[in-house]
Amino acid sequence: MASVKAQFSLNSLPKFPNKAQLKKLEKNHILSYSEVESEASSQSLKFHIFGLHPKKCQIALSKISRYENYQDYLGVVKKSTYENKVIYLELSHLLLPFDMSMKFKMERVSKPGHYKFSFNQGFLSGLQGDVIISKYESRCLFVGRSYWKGKDSGISDSIFSFFTKQLTKITMETLFKISKTY
């Protein structure tokens, strides 16, 4: 789970948007993509989110990396802890089809780099993903990607796609807003 320091070209990232969408990103819009597909008794999720924080990474990460404080930052998070590289979140929101607990393994994102994460139990058990943090001019680029395939969740593809896309977008917007200063 070690991070690797790296610089990334925006256009080289998988699923990166077209030029019009890049302009939106540079104007502080969060771009989020979620694709959910069902096949027989299984379901899959492919997800990407992009955000360009208005400040340098050091400032942005000073609050965003404090996972144990997410219950204080985010209305959707009712409880948050971070111990032994494990983030635990209890979530409840109107956009969620049901209240859920999420427990995943991830190194604390404290500087630019490439960080992998995984969900080892619960609703999205087996989900794998990564977070890429990179300096972009005088700003900080955040990219999140994840993939999951498992037993059909019982949630329709369109609703599953909608809530993953919208909830993560709202979350990133909120985290960016609260992390503009130390």
Report the alpha-carbon distance of residue 63 to residue 79 in Å, rounded. 17
pLDDT at 2 over 50: no
Report the alpha-carbon distance of residue 60 to residue 112 in Å, rounded. 11
**Rounded mean pLDDT, 53-78:** 93
pLDDT of residue 1: 36
Long-range contacts of 17-21 (CB under 8 A, 24+ apart): 17/50
Q: pLDDT digits over 13-56, tens only?
A: 555 556 777 788 889 999 999 999 999 999 999 999 999 999 99
Conformation bin of residue 84: beta by default, left when phi > 0, alpha when psi is -120 to 50: left
Domain boundaries, the chain: 19-178
Q: Taking the model in full, what pTM does it have?
A: 0.85
For domain 19-178, which CATH number applies: 3.40.50.2300, 3.40.50.150, 3.40.50.1100, 3.30.530.20?
A: 3.30.530.20
